[in-house]
Amino acid sequence: MTLQYALELIGTFVFAISGALAVREKEHDMFGAGFTGFITAIGGGTLRDILLDSYPLVWIGDIHFLYAILTGILAAFIFPNLLSRLRKTFFLFDTLGIGFFTVLGVEKALSLGVRPEIAAIMGMFTAVMGGVIRDTLTNEIPILFRKEIYASACLAGAVIYLVLDHLETDRNYNLLISMSVIISIRLIAMKYKLSLPTLD
Amino acid sequence: MTLQYALELIGTFVFAISGALAVREKEHDMFGAGFTGFITAIGGGTLRDILLDSYPLVWIGDIHFLYAILTGILAAFIFPNLLSRLRKTFFLFDTLGIGFFTVLGVEKALSLGVRPEIAAIMGMFTAVMGGVIRDTLTNEIPILFRKEIYASACLAGAVIYLVLDHLETDRNYNLLISMSVIISIRLIAMKYKLSLPTLD
Amino acid sequence: MTLQYALELIGTFVFAISGALAVREKEHDMFGAGFTGFITAIGGGTLRDILLDSYPLVWIGDIHFLYAILTGILAAFIFPNLLSRLRKTFFLFDTLGIGFFTVLGVEKALSLGVRPEIAAIMGMFTAVMGGVIRDTLTNEIPILFRKEIYASACLAGAVIYLVLDHLETDRNYNLLISMSVIISIRLIAMKYKLSLPTLD
């Protein structure tokens, strides 16, 4: 539990950094960069909890998440060049983050009593909707719609979690396996530049 | 009631198809198309229910809606060319759909105890906000803001429903009349290329 | 209390006008302009109340807000040229409005029991998110991300309100001081074309 909580805070911190850095080549000022980092970090979980009527929202009920975000934004302000050079490392952290938050999102949805099909969608939303909102606000077509095997990796991992959960797999094994699926799909797709077909 | 429920599922199915096909000429992959179909189908009702604090959301409380959406997305994946050639038929179905969902949205809002003015807005939101969210995510200026007499037709139909309801018209007649108003306005506007003036 | 209520209605009216006029040079028809005015006027408070689970939403629970908005939209329809020429006056009103709504948003959030850090964010959201949603729907990069010292002024004023509140300053003095801070920062930044640095 304490490990999970620490990982949630670290994941939020990482998402805030990547959100703030995402607008570097845009015309955003520092406030805009911070705002974008904030939205990226809270967006997915917030949308999930609003859809499921689960209040208070995580970052409103527990102030540590706000501090994790502010620390991430501050890091992006102080070390923008260093952090941008670490793009590959960051991509790895980001991938770990989406794997982790997908599975947590599934678990939270299940704990609120929804059906597994809905929980799978909520898991994916948790991981990817922060980025979708970020891209929409910065006037981009959200990246998940076009380039990467990204949200579909989350959905696949969520389904695997649910199947293993249905088979009463031990939770720790299940977390490990379904997160690994998400992370592997994304890393492999990135390495070999795999993408889904378009609708033609 | 059973007829109404069947129509709701069919309408959701149609909206999912048109949402998935809407991104055909964009750079969206299949996942992006499916996601867009999903958002288009649930967007309006979801926004209405969040604004009115009505939980669980329809598609979360009743899994049949999700299956209607997935079937629509699958149809768009399997028969994209066929369905795109049926554009005119689809426009008709879409128009029937917005007429139907407008009136249902008004009724749901009234049943939750809001004033008729608010119910009219909620009826229009139910029918059109899925498309607005879709257009925003795909980086378009929402079509309802610029080209078609579309949302204003919904608003007109919603007002007529409320007036007839106030006059204690039989519900079935009222549904028929107010839906016909929406459908007729949109079809006539489309046929004669009518549009509202701009603000100059 | 009555003065505050009157100011809320006037502020809503002003936001609706500026929202409707914001799309004048776009391809929006009258309906699109009205819709944009509506969203601009309700967006910030609506987002705040959804995030805080505070229902009914202000404009749904009290119909006078809807009438204030409709009056504003109507004014924009009837006097578009006159109101556009009054741009400077409007900028002043808009600035007064964001100062006022920031502080009201902070107070409402505090009254719902959240921590001051969250209340500061909610105050800023109340004042600026209507404009962010408006810009996103009209396919612009939200202005607050790039040009003006605007949202950061709200955040500064919110923090000052909270500090003075913590020091048990009389509420009326506090309102006056923190609103003045927001208004002064924005007017000074505009006059001297000050802007925040970008992230480089």
Radius of gyration of the CA atoms of chain B, in A: 16
For chain A, the DSSP string reads -HHHHHHHHHHHHHHHHHHHHHTTTTT-BHHHHHHHHHHHHHHHHHHHHHHTT--S-HHHH-HHHHHHHHHHHHHHHHSHHHHHHTHHHHHHHHHHHHHHHHHHHHHHHHHTT--HHHHHHHHHHHHHHHHHHHHHHTT---GGGTT-S-HHHHHHHHHHHHHHHHTT--HHHHHHHHHHHHHHHHHHHHHTT----B--
Q: Which residue has the higher pLDDT, C192 or B170?
A: B170
Buried b (16+ CB within 10 A) or exposed e, C18-42: bbbbbbbebebbbbbbbbbbbbbbb
Q: Do C136 and A138 touch (CB under 8 A)?
A: no
Q: What is the per-residue pLDDT for A101? A: 95
* Cβ distance of A144 and B35 shorter than 8 Å: yes
* pLDDT score recorded for residue A171: 92
**A86 to chain C nearest CA, in Å?**
15
Which residues pair with residue B198 across a beta bridge? C29
Q: Which chain C residues are within 8 Å of A76, Cβ to Cβ? A: 199
Digit-coded pLDDT (tens) for C82-122: 887 887 787 888 888 899 999 999 999 999 999 999 999 99
Cβ atoms < 10 Å from Cβ of B178 = 27
Which residue of chain C comes nearest to B110, CA vs CA? C60
Nearest to C30 among B121, B141, B196 (CB): B196
Report chain B residues whose CB lies below 8 A from the CB of A152.
31
Whether A55 has its CB under 8 Å from any CB of chain C: the answer is yes
| Ranges A144-153, A154-163, C41-50: which has the least confidence | A144-153
Ranking A87-91, A180-184, B30-34, B107-111 by mean pLDDT, the lowest is A87-91
pLDDT of B1 = 61
CA nearest neighbour of C96 among C5, C12, C163:
C12
Number of Cβ atoms within 10 Å of the Cβ of A89? 10
**Residue of B138, B145, B186, B195 for testing the chain C interface, max C β-carbons within 10 Å:** B145
- Count residue pairs from A and B with Cβ separation < 8 A: 77
Residue B59 has pLDDT above 90, yes or no: yes
pLDDT of residue C200: 62
Q: pLDDT for C165-183, tens place per residue?
A: 999 999 999 999 999 999 9
Q: Which residue of C has its CA nearest to B135?
A: C137
Report pLDDT for B140. 72
Q: Is pLDDT at C1 greater than 80 in this prediction?
A: no
Residue A80's pLDDT band (boundaries 50, 70, 90)?
confident
Gap between the Cα atoms of A68 and C79, Å rounded: 48
The mean pLDDT of chain C is 89
Supply the pLDDT for residue B199. 65
- Would you call B32 and A146 a contact, using CB atoms and an 8 Å cutoff? yes
Nearest to A51 by CA among A137, A104, A123, A151: A123
**Which of C118, C132, C149 minimises the CB distance to A60?**
C118
Q: What is the pLDDT of residue A177?
A: 96
Residue with more model confidence, C26 or A61: A61
Chain A residues whose beta carbon lies within 8 Å of the beta carbon of residue B137 = 132, 136, 141-142, 145
B124-135, pLDDT tens digit by residue?
999 999 988 888
Query: What tokens were used for A115?
Result: 């059906």
Cα–Cα–Cα angle for C37, C110, C144, nearest 5°? 40
Rounded to an integer, the average pLDDT of B61-89 is: 90
Neighbours of A24 (CB within 10 A): 16
Best mutation site among A46, A198, A200 for testing chain B: the one with the most B CBs within 10 Å? A198
Find out whether A38 and C145 touch, Cβ atoms under 8 Å. no
Span B36-58, mean pLDDT? 96
Interface contact A35-C197, CB threshold 8 A: no
Which pLDDT band holds residue C2 (cuts at 50, 70, 90)? confident
- Cis peptide bond N-terminal to B56, omega within 30: yes
Of the candidates C50, C115, C198, the beta carbon closest to that of A29 is on: C198
d(CA B126, CA B157): 13
Question: What ipTM was estimated for this complex?
Answer: 0.91
Q: Smallest CA–CA separation between A189 and chain B, in Å? A: 14
Interface membership of B74 toward C (CB under 8 Å): no
Distance separating alpha carbons of residues B7 and B15, to the nearest angstrom:
12
Question: Does any CB of chain C come closer than 8 Å to the CB of residue A33?
Answer: yes
Chains in contact with chain C (at least 3 beta-carbon pairs closer than 8 A): A, B
For CA atoms C81, C87, C88, C93, the dihedral sign is positive
Rg (CA), chain C: 16
Residue A189's pLDDT band (boundaries 50, 70, 90)? Answer: confident
Q: How many CB atoms lie within 10 A of CB B90?
A: 17
Cross-chain Cβ contact C30/B144 below 8 Å: no
Please say if the pLDDT value at position A18 is more than 90.
no
Residues of C in Cβ contact (< 8 Å) with B156: none
Amino acid at residue number B1? M
Nearest of A59, A58, A51 to residue A114 by alpha carbon: A51
CA distance B136 to chain A (A): 7
Residue B103 has pLDDT above 80, yes or no: yes
Reported as a pLDDT band with limits 50, 70 and 90, residue B176 is: very high
Give the residue-averaged pLDDT of C129-138: 87
Of A115, A117, A152, the CB nearest to B31: A152
Output the pLDDT for position B28.
75
Q: Closest Cα to residue C200, out of A19, A72, A14, A28? A: A28
Return the structure tokens found at A161: 């979690």
Q: List pLDDT tens digits, range B142-168.
A: 766 666 678 899 999 999 999 999 999
Reported confidence tier of residue A145, pLDDT bands at 50, 70, 90: low
pLDDT at B88 over 70: yes
| Per-residue pLDDT at A51 | 98
Q: How far apart are the first and last CA of chain C?
A: 47
Question: pLDDT-derived band of residue B65, with 50, 70 and 90 as boundaries?
Answer: very high
Say if A146 is an interface residue toward chain C (CB within 8 Å): no
Say yes or no to pLDDT of B55 above 70.
yes
* pLDDT of B16 strictly over 80: yes
Residue A59 has pLDDT above 90, yes or no: yes
pLDDT at B144: 63
Comparison of pLDDT for B3 and C88, the residue scoring more: B3
For residue C126, pLDDT over 80 is answered with yes
Q: Is the pLDDT of residue C39 over 80?
A: yes
Residue A144: pLDDT over 70: no
CA A67 to chain C, closest CA, distance in angstroms equals: 10
pLDDT (0 to 100) of residue A116:
96
**Nearest 10 degrees: Cα torsion B84, B89, B94, B96:** -170
Q: Is the pLDDT of residue C199 over 70?
A: no
Structure confidence at residue A1 (pLDDT): 60
pLDDT-derived band at A147, boundaries 50, 70, 90: low
Confidence band, pLDDT 50/70/90 cuts, at residue B93? confident
Q: HEC profile for A58-94?
A: HHHHCHHHHHHHHHHHHHHHHCHHHHHHCHHHHHHHH
Touching partners of A (3+ C-beta pairs < 8 Å): B, C
* DSSP 3-state of C167: coil
Percent over 90 (pLDDT), chain C: 60
| 3-state secondary structure at position C170 | coil
Average pLDDT, chain B: 89
Residue A5 CB partners (closer than 8 Å, separation 6+): none
Q: Is B132 on the interface with C (CB under 8 A)?
A: yes
**Helices C87-111 and C116-137 meet at what angle, rounded to 10?**
140
Whether residue A136 lies within 8 A of chain C, CB to CB, comes out as: yes
Residue C27 at interface with chain A, using a CB cutoff of 8 Å:
no
Phi, psi of C142 (to 5 degrees): -50, 135
Judged by CB atoms closer than 8 Å, whether chains meet at A29 and C141 is answered as: no
| C137 contacts in chain B (CB < 8 Å) | 132, 136, 141-142, 145
Q: Which of B27, B28, B46, B69 to mutate to test the interface with A (most CBs of A within 10 A)?
A: B28
Residue B29 main-chain phi, psi, to 5 deg: -85, 180
